[in-house]
Chain A
Amino acid sequence: MSVALVAVLAPLAAALSIASLRRAAPWLALLGAFASAAAAWATLRATAAGASFSASVEWLPAVRLRMDVDPLAALLSATVASVGLLVLVYAVGYMAGDRGTVRFYALMSLFLAAMQSLVMAGDWLLFLGSWELIALASYLLIGHGFARDEVGSAAGRAFLTTRAADVGLYLGVFVLFHETGTTAIGATVASGGAVGTLAGQLLLVAAAGKAAQVPFQGWLAAAMVGPTPVSALLHSATLVAAGVILVVRAFPLLPPGVLLVVGVLGGATAVVAGLTAIAQRDLKRLLAASTSSQLGLMLVGLGAGSLAAGAFHLVVHAAMKSALFLGAGVFQHERRSTEFRRLRGAGKEARWAFAAVAVAGLALAGVPPLGGFWSKDTVLAAAFGSPAAWLLAPLALIGSLLTAVYVARALRLVWTGDEGATKRAAVRERGGRGGRRAASVWMGVGLGGLAAAAAALGAFVAPIESILGHLPELATATVLGVVVASVGLAAGWLWSADTLLGRLRPWAESGFQVGAGLATFTTQPAFALAQAIDALDGVLHRAVVAGAANVLAVARRVSTADRVLHQLVEATAAAVLAMARVARSGDEHGIDAMIAALVRRTLAWGRASRTVQSGLVHQELVWAVGGTAALLALLSFVGFAPG
């Protein structure tokens, strides 16, 4: 396992060290990619010899993250690592002078690590995690030149389209986990029946989104605003290929009905995207549409029931398409544009680049003995051999025909045309050639390596077959394939897009948009709904505030009533107090005064009585009798006084 792990960890380490050191970014990235490629090839050799690797770690309490490397995973890993390495070599030349190289190389390395982890994932959680990290890295890479206005929206569109489709992946994984109690890919894909149909369809939605199949194909063309090495990597072996890899991984799960859907979806995309490619006025946009169409052919192979055919075309296409993008990048450096209008004759200025592009292009068109011929041949043979051959075979043949047409058209537009004036202008504009030559060496090595692979992969059919299993063969398919390739090449070279497509061209150029594209049916309603919810929320909040205000109003009224009540109580209290005061003053002025007066009068009488005490017995007797009578009368008066 340790060797296979290096394939994942080396680019990851490169990404982290670039981000933290912020220097020597290209070298660290190349080192990581080289180590990854070496490890991937070593793993491929070992697995081809019968070894298998696996490792797992318990990441969540009930869920293990697993890596399982079978020969197929090792082949995909080697493909990713090799394309990644060569694209990075090219990028050293292409990105020289760019200001954001630290970010660029860190993200490219992160991207490669995530992609390696995806192809080796042995459980759906790791697969899903890698899948989303790839989306993040590609979002940031497409958004590399974020100061330009259209870049942010293109990057956002790529992320959002694929994430919307990812709901299918999430739900598919939930279904499988619910059914089997595990997320291990090997165990889950064994469950068939209704679960297989449901989960298979859900996974297919995610695959179609990632692989830019109908109806999700639109984001890929917009994503071309990223730097060309990014396009080369994202749209050949990695980002979009992940969609096909998902179908490859889920292949054993898919019942015949779902497989037919896979095939028809791929065939339809091959035709629709092929027409779109023919109509493009920009080389990179043509290549983007071509990617959709080729991924469609892979799905035809898978849908026809041949895992090997789909996977073989995936590997060969990775080399062909990345070479084509890198070639487009060379022309782009020459002419500072990828519009065909500006590229006329650019091939004659950069002949070695044109040669590489031509080789890769002819391989893509299916010209023997180049690599693409072999892989396309197996796809066609698989289509003819499928139970639904009446449907898949014509779609695959038309897809191949259209491929040859747009390849020839692209080659014609880049090779022919009045180049004299533009060439001289370009030479003047460029100035110093020394740095450019150094840059062009790096770019040449990367482009040449990939073009050579695109040409020569046909020589390795036998070892690939030993890894992937039986590759379908059919003489009829081979003959028809060569015929449509020749016819298509001739048509594309001889006739213009307007002649070929007629009144269909504007529609085809827009990628067969209905209305304002997918957005009409997704983002716009979502925004409308969001606005409605926002309005509703305002109403809700006002209602609550109004409710609170009502409560406050009631409270105020209660408070007013309370005050009135309080005043009443106070008034009553005051009245009582007043009465009490009256009573008290009655007390003071009545009883107390009376008693005081009584005392005063008693004293006065006492003084007066002194004069009466004369000492004469008869006189005193008279006073004693009279006094007693008076005292009795007085006492009886006091005893009945109010009090």
Chain B
Amino acid sequence: MTIFLPLVGAIVLLALPRSGARFAHRVGITTSALTLLGALAMWWRGVGTGFSQIEEVAWIPSLGAAYRVGVDGISLPLIVLTAVLFLASFVFSAKIDERARSYVSLLLLLETASIGVFAALDMVLFYLFWEVTLVGMYFIIAGWGYAERQRAALTFFLYTLLGSLPLLLAILALYLGSEPRTFDMRVMIDAPPLTGLAAMLTLVALLVAFAIKTPVVPFHTWLPAAHVEAPTAGSVVLAGVLLKLGTYGLVRFALQMTPDAFRAAAPLVIVVAVVSALYGALAALAQTDLKRMVAYTSVNHMGYVVLGVAAAAVATDAGTRALALDGAVLQMVAHGLVTGALFLLVGMVQDRTGTREMGELGGLLGVVPLLGWSFVLAAFASLGLPGLAHFPAEFQVFLGAFGVYPLAAAFAVLGIVITAGLYLRAIQASFLGEPTERHVVMPDLGLREAWAVVPLLLLTILLGVAPRLVLDVIARAS
């Protein structure tokens, strides 16, 4: 299926050791384009209620583990998002000459693993793919990042590895609790195996694991560090895809496999989510480095996702639950597109000027209008303007959360003012006013850059105008 297409590309590339950089990028782009076609074909085939397009191959029968994959309304949009973002990353990365073959292979491996996590229906398989994403990202940052990359990569790796341990424990607990014992996630979802204290302990382990990955305050500090040093495409994948693994896990495991425990713990999760959203927004407001700022807004936006999931966990009526969960999943997709575009654009600014400091930039809208207006569009999308992708998502999350915890929703809404403030400040400092003398002449969006970022922006508009294109798929699952 589509999962292994990128891996095939990577193997082809590794099998041809003396191929040049151009060839490597061509393989990368072709493979990820084919993967996107595969993902779109999956979209076309659609999902019913529950899981569809299931493939099952015996693997370790004695343990009840098997190669089981399939999609539902929650994972399918994320798989398509992953394919879109990886293609954009490959297109944007086509300028990298340094060890291009390893770079492309790693990124392809990462793509297989990411799609694998979303499609896995077996906990062992899930864990396997989960760990592979970690390794892939570590090498991308450590190998192709900026000055402090080794340290950032190590921080990233240790931090998220720390999160893997509770995940493994939780998976084992779920396995041991199931009767007959199996790693089949569908069984866990249909009949959550654990109750009482066991369920609560498992939930705590899951929450810690996914809180680190998502990330939520106070487990987020690896994120800005990793983003600042990661190469542009690495940031796109990290923010656009890998963060979603955390919230996806939150839905798939915590919400669906330990629902009662989650309901009991939801007030705490909601507090953490709201604090995370506001903390991330305020921390972003204090940044002067564009990339760090965008990184912190991820903490804000992912806080809204967690808020939506937690609200869905407590909601007693189906309407509110659907509203909150739909909003949370749509928010994941929107964040992937918008933040992906923002990281690409910041990367372009850095490629041209050699800096990301707002103080050293200025007037770029007059110098590079296409790039500038793209940034303005992406920034307004990120601050939740109607007609762009984040608005329907956040509106539903707020509406759903308000039905359960009005006060939490009221605090969370304050976040949209802070994000508005920080993006306007960034636009004003970097793109408006007089251009600084060093940056009066520079090329506007090139063809490669346009092919990477424009599709993301178009999808942002499409999702903002017609959110039901995705919501109708999501709604099958929620």
Q: Is A596 on the interface with B (CB-CB < 8 A)?
A: no
Contacts of B386 in A (CB 8 A): 128-130, 132-133
Best-buried of B323, B365, B392, B433 by chain A (most CB within 10 Å): B433
Chain A residue numbers with a CB within 8 Å of B380 are 136
CB neighbours (8 Å) of A548 from chain B are 155, 158
Cβ A147 vs Cβ B322 within 8 A: no
CB neighbours of B434 from chain A (8 A): 147, 149
- Cα distance A424–B319 in the bound complex, in angstroms: 73
Cα distance A533–B422 in the bound complex, in angstroms: 14
User: Cβ of A62 < 8 Å from any Cβ of B?
Assistant: yes
Determine the distance from Cα of A533 to Cα of B280 in the docked complex, in whole angstroms: 9
Task: Using A160-B421, A164-B417 as known contacts, say yes or no to A152 and B283 having CB atoms under 8 A apart.
Answer: no
A512 within 8 A of B: no
Taking the closest CB of chain B, its distance from the CB of A288, in whole angstroms, is: 21
Contact A147 B366, beta carbon cutoff 8 Å: yes
Instruction: Check B286 against A530 for contact (C-beta < 8 Å).
Output: yes
Query: In the bound complex, do residue A62 and residue B322 qualify as a contact, i.e. CB atoms below 8 Å apart?
Result: yes
Chain B residues with CB below 8 A from A485, complex form: none
Report A-chain residues with C-beta under 8 Å of the C-beta of B387: 129, 133
Asked whether, in the complex, the Cβ of B282 is within 8 Å of the Cβ of A147, the reply is no
Q: Given the complex of chains A and B, what is the CA–CA distance between A151 and B218 in angstroms? A: 38
**Contact across chains for B432 and A152 when beta carbons are under 8 A apart:** yes
A613 partner residues in chain B, CB cutoff 8 A: none
Whether A163 pairs with B420 at a CB distance below 8 angstroms is yes
Known: A61-B475, A133-B387. A156 touches B428 (CB 8 A): yes
Q: In the complex, A527 Cα to B414 Cα: how many Å? A: 14
| B residues less than 8 Å from A146 (CB atoms) | 365-366, 431-433
Say how far A239's CB is from chain B's closest CB, in angstroms.
16
* Of B56-64, B89-97, B335-343, B405-413, the one touching chain A: B405-413
A527, B385: Cα distance in complex, Å: 22
- Give Cα distance in the complex from A518 to B218, angstroms: 32
* Residue A534 CB within 8 A of the other chain: yes
Q: In the assembled complex, how far is the CB of residue B477 from the closest CB belonging to chain A, in whole angstroms?
A: 13
User: Taking A59-B468, A541-B221 as contacts, is the C-beta distance between A167 and B414 under 8 angstroms?
Assistant: yes
Contact residues in B for A523 (Cβ distance below 8 Å): 421
Cβ contacts B395-423/A at 8 Å (1 or 0 each): 11011001100100110011011101100
With both beta carbons as reference points, the residue of chain B lying nearest to A170 in the complex is identified as B413
Contact across chains for A153 and B428 when beta carbons are under 8 A apart: yes
B37 within 8 A of A: no
Contacts of A152 in B (CB 8 A): 427-428, 432-433
A174 sits at the interface (CB 8 A): yes
CA distance A133 to B410 in the complex (A): 22
Per the bound structure, the CA–CA distance linking A160 and B406 in Å amounts to 24
Taking the complex as formed, is B279 at the interface, i.e. its CB lies under 8 A from any CB of chain A? yes
Is A61 a contact partner of B428 (Cβ separation < 8 A)? no
Q: Is the CB of B432 within 8 A of A163?
A: no
> Residue B319 contacts which of A59, A62, A171 (CB distance < 8 angstroms)?
A62
A167-B282 contact given A133-B386, A174-B399, CB 8 Å threshold? no
Neighbouring B residues of A160 by C-beta, 8 Å? 417, 420-421, 424
Known contacts A146-B433, A170-B398; is A533 also within 8 Å of B421 by CB? no
Q: How far is the CB of B405 from chain A (nearest CB, A)?
A: 11
Contact among B414, B425, B468 with A61 in the assembled complex (CB-CB below 8 Å): B468
With both beta carbons as reference points, the residue of chain A lying nearest to B422 in the complex is identified as A530
A537 to B428, CA, bound (A): 25
Interface presence of B303 (CB below 8 A): no
Q: Judging by beta carbons under 8 Å apart, are B467 and A60 in contact? A: yes
A residues within 8 A CB of B392?
59-60
B178 in the interface, Cβ–Cβ < 8 Å?
Answer: no
B163 sits at the interface (CB 8 A)? no
Q: Which residues of B contact A540 (CB under 8 A)?
A: 218, 221
The answer, yes or no, to whether B241 is at the interface (CB within 8 Å) is no
Q: Which residue of B lies closest to A533 (CB)?
A: B282
Report the nearest A residue to B281, measured CB to CB: A530
B366 touches A171 (CB 8 A): no
Q: Mark A25-61, 1 if CB is under 8 A from B, else 0.
A: 0000000000000000000000000000000001111
Kindly provide the distance from the CB of B399 to the nearest chain A CB, expressed in whole angstroms. 6
Pairwise interchain contact A537-B432, C-beta atoms closer than 8 A? no
List residues of chain B with CB within 8 A of the CB of A59. 392, 467-468
Residue B52, interface by CB 8 Å: no
Residues of A within 8 A of B224 (CB): 537
Q: Does A568 contact B (CB under 8 A)?
A: no
CB of B102 within 8 Å of the partner chain = no
Chain B CB within 8 A of A529 CB: yes
Query: Is A340 among interface residues, defined by CB-CB distance under 8 A?
Result: no
A153 to B468, CA, bound (A): 36
Known A-B contacts A60-B468, A167-B414, A548-B158; the reply to A526 vs B421 at CB < 8 A is: yes
Is A189 an interface position by the 8 A CB rule? no
Interface residues of B in 322-339 (CB under 8 A from A): 322-323, 326
Q: Do B427 and A530 touch (CB < 8 A)? A: no
Please indicate which of the listed interface residues A58, A531, A534 has the most CB atoms of chain B within 10 Å of its own CB.
A534
Q: For chain B residues 176-227, which have a beta carbon within 8 Å of chain A?
A: 218, 221-222, 224-225
Q: Is B153 an interface residue (CB 8 A)?
A: no
Q: Across the interface, do B420 and A159 meet the contact criterion of CB distance under 8 Å?
A: yes
How distant is the Cα of A199 from the Cα of B416 in the complex, in angstroms?
Answer: 19
Q: Tell whether A178 is near chain B: CB-to-CB under 8 Å.
A: yes
Known A-B contacts A149-B433, A530-B283; A159 and B424 likewise in contact (beta carbons under 8 Å): yes
Q: Which residues in chain A, 160-203, are within 8 Å of chain B measured between CB atoms?
A: 160, 163-164, 166-167, 170-171, 174-175, 177-178, 181
Is A511 interfacial (CB 8 A cutoff)? no
List 21 A-B pairs, Cβ < 8 Å. Answer: A61-B323, A62-B322, A62-B323, A133-B385, A140-B376, A143-B432, A147-B363, A152-B433, A159-B424, A166-B416, A167-B416, A167-B417, A170-B398, A171-B410, A178-B406, A523-B421, A526-B285, A530-B418, A533-B279, A541-B221, A544-B222
List 20 additional A-B contacts (Cβ < 8 Å) besides A61-B475, A534-B287: A59-B467, A62-B319, A62-B323, A129-B386, A129-B387, A132-B386, A132-B391, A136-B380, A140-B376, A153-B428, A159-B420, A160-B417, A160-B421, A166-B416, A175-B402, A530-B418, A537-B224, A541-B221, A545-B155, A548-B158
Closest 7 pairs between A and B when the two form their complex, measured CB to CB: A152-B432, A534-B286, A129-B386, A541-B221, A530-B285, A152-B428, A530-B286
